[in-house]
Structures are given as structure tokens and as C-alpha cells.
Structure 1
């Protein structure tokens, strides 16, 4: 038997009403399953930090390529910083795509 709250074939719920003031629905004990994230804020954060992390990846990569053996910081920490920035940029890109897909799906359901 299908659960109507988690059925993938059901129509998405509109986000027209904000849940910041009061509860949108009575407490059912399933909040972690049905929790909603603020998609517009996630969109803004991903759009701001994706270029910053890409710039950090490029900056630390170029800096590591131009560093010599006696330089401080050394080549290893700079490569590590470039990799960390690259992973964070990839995470921001994936989150940006997920948020855009969810917003597009909700716009389609509102018609």
C-alpha cells in the first residue's frame, strides 16, 4: 500500500504559503520526511558561492603551480586548498541544479 505523503506519482505541493510564521500543517511526527527547505535562499547561496569557489580553485591551483620548494606556504597545502575549493564548487553546482529542478517542477504544478 502506498503512503500518500511519500508517493512519487503524487502532485507536488505548492510552496505559495510560507511556513516561517506558524505551522502550515498540524504536527504529524514526520517532519524530517516532509521537511521543506527554503529553495530561494539555497538558490542565492549556490549562485553566490559557485563562482567564488571556482575562483578559489583557479587561484590556489595557479599559486601551487608557481610555487618553489622553499616557498611558504608550500605546494602541498596549496594543492589541498585547490582540491577543497573544487569539491565545494562541485557541491554548489549540484545544489544549484537540484534547486532549479525543484523550482521548475513546482512552477509546473502551479499551472
Structure 2
């Protein structure tokens, strides 16, 4: 049910995703380098593939952050009526 205050009180988790991506980049690069150095190419490839996924996610998160806020209905838009309960 919508109360009408969502555009005012809504918060995005993009900053949290940004920091989780940064943490993921650190660990996947560390894992890739470590597994290459100890001679486990399969695990190094798995870490490198995960690093690619994290970098794609990081790129998308930064793109969304740079886009800024999107349209939100103003105060003149009334809240949705709650659905009627069936009898």
C-alpha cells in the first residue's frame, strides 16, 4: 500500500553497492594474483571471471549515481487508494 510519502522518504542503496563493489574488486584482484603465484590457474580464472562481473556491476552503479535522481511525483499527486478488501 502506498502512503504518499515514498518519494520523500525513499533511499537508494547505490552507495552501499558502490562500496561492496570496491571491496569485491580488492578481493578478486588479490585472489587472482595469489592463485597465479601459487600455480592454480583454474582458481585464478574463476577469480578473474568474478572480477569481470564485479567491474561490470561497478560500472553500472557509477552510471546510475551519475544519472542523478529520476522523476518522482510531486506533492500535487495524490497517494494511491488502498485496495478494497473483498467481502
TM-score where L is the length of structure 2: 0.64
Three-state SS of the structure 1 residue aligned to 2:9 is coil
* Structure 2: unaligned runs, 5 residues or longer: 1-6, 72-87
Measure the CA separation in 1 of the matches of 2:24 and 2:37: 20
Measure the CA separation in 1 of the matches of 2:23 and 2:34: 17
The CA RMSD over aligned residues, in Å, is 2.3
Matches within 5 A, 1:7-46: 17-18=9-10, 38-46=13-21
Instruction: Note if 1:51 corresponds to 2:32.
Output: no
The CA deviation string for residues 73-98 of structure 1, in whole angstroms up to 9 with x for no partner, is: xxxxx211101110111111111111
Instruction: Note if 1:95 corresponds to 2:70.
Output: no
Count of paired positions: 65
Measure the CA separation in 2 of the matches of 1:50 and 1:17: 31
Q: Which residue of 2 aligns with 1:62?
A: 37
* Structure 1: unaligned runs, 5 residues or longer: 1-14, 20-36, 65-77
Measure the CA separation in 2 of the matches of 1:39 and 1:16: 17
Higher RCO (C-alpha under 8 Å, 6+ residues apart):
2
1:82–1:16 distance in 2 versus 1, CA, 3 Å: farther
